[in-house]
Structure 1
Amino acid sequence: MLTEGYDACPLVPGESLMARPGFWSTHLLAMCADGGCTEQPVPEWFGGDGADCDALSEILFDPEHWPVFRVPTEDGSGVVVVYRNLDGDYGTDYVLSGSGLTWRELIRIADSPLSAADGVQDTADRLLLLLPLLTDPDVPESAPATIAAALTAVGGPRDTAPVAARHLLAHLSKRSQHDPTWASPLSGS
């Protein structure tokens, strides 16, 4: 599997991992890591438990295999999500054109699977996988319900999906924004 900028990396297709218990808990709890809310998020909000998350983390963060999730689009502007597993530098990279997505762009990509291409096709999976790319602070009033419906569609409990959706959106709106035209504070510029 080739992804520009990751030529020498041990990339492996990751789409099959999305159906495993604990995937959504592991992927989405990372968004809530800042601890900015009074209510502590738990894996059960997203349909998993701690044991599921631990087991899947061993796979997602294996330095020998970097899972890649491809989200193709009709216009060719798809997104690639890479679990970067460098020793001491683990993270999730989102490879796309631009610096983030508006709510409208996120919904367009989620709702436009390219069935003739390999990659993530389910609209709920696409929405939740790319949710961390949302940089639009002005989302419609229907956004929490849309996210809650996606959480339920991937196996999240109906009773916690609305709370989880609001929590995710709150964390996205509180995080610091980065303008890609700014010079790096480490560059000496």
Structure 2
Amino acid sequence: MLIEGYGHGPVVAGESLVGRRGFWANHLLAMCGDGTCAERAIPEWFGGDGADADALAEVLFDPEQWPVFRVLVPDGHPVPGVVVVYRNLVDEFGVDCLLGGQDRCLVAGLSWQELIRVTDCPEPPADSVQDVSGRFLLLLPLLSGEWSDEVVRERIVAALVAVGAPEGTVGRAAGHLLGHLERRALHDAVWGSPLSGG
């Protein structure tokens, strides 16, 4: 696999990891790590447990293999897809989100409409994450701008249940994620979206 700008990075296809227990804890807990909540999010809210999350973390954050998750759309789709790269440099870890088309620039944020257009597109390419809930949750950290809390919360709950989060705590997990998105949006209000030309 070759991704422009990551010629020296050992990128590998990561789509098969999306269905493994502990994946969503690793991916989504990163959103909740700013220390602003009285209650700390835990891996069990997202399916699996701490041991599952730890085992998968060794794969996700391996400096010798950087997982890449392609959330692509068919040619001619009104909004380009997104490629999520776990950039596992030893002293500079990060998750980069790049436009999925020819122009692989970094994506700072997606509006609610853009997020839904990418995640819900019919018949995504075969080399892309296929599951709609997985596509949505992979790109959820990019949500910016304005949105309806009720609509977003309902979608987060449905997506979490679909990927195996326990129904008993899914409301708490969704509220926690939404709270972090809202706090971040207040700080990142100047972000434009490369998908809309902003």
TM-score, reference length from structure 1: 0.89
Give the Å deviation of 1:114.
Answer: 3.7
Number of the residue aligned with 1:61: 61
Q: How far apart, CA to CA, are the structure 2 residues paired with 1:180 and 1:106? A: 15
Number of the residue aligned with 2:133: 124
Q: How far apart, CA to CA, are the structure 2 residues paired with 1:180 and 1:145? A: 25
The change in CA–CA distance for 1:139 and 1:3 in structure 2 (over 3 A counts) is: farther
Number of the residue aligned with 1:79: 82
Cα deviation code 1:21-73 (max 9, x no counterpart): 10001100000000111111111110121111111111001010000000111
Q: How far apart, CA to CA, are the structure 2 residues paired with 1:159 and 1:68? A: 31
Runs of 4+ in 1 over 4 A off after TM superposition: 178-181
Gaps of 5+ in 2: 100-104, 193-198
Give the alignment of 1:148-167 within 5 angstroms.
148-167=157-176
Number of the residue aligned with 1:185: none
Give the Å deviation of 1:139.
Answer: 2.9
TM-score, reference length from structure 2: 0.85
Number of the residue aligned with 1:15: 15
Give the Å deviation of 1:140.
Answer: 4.6
The partner residue of 1:107 within 116, 119, 133 is: 116
Q: Is the 8 A contact 2:31 2:177 kept in 1?
A: yes
Which letter maps to 1:139?
A: S
Q: Is the 8 A contact 1:45 1:156 kept in 2?
A: yes
Does residue 26 of structure 1 match 2:29?
A: no
The change in CA–CA distance for 1:93 and 1:178 in structure 2 (over 3 A counts) is: farther
The CA RMSD over aligned residues, in Å, is: 1.7
Aligned length, in residue pairs:
181
Q: How far apart, CA to CA, are the structure 2 residues paired with 1:34 and 1:116? A: 35
Gaps of 5+ in 1: 182-189
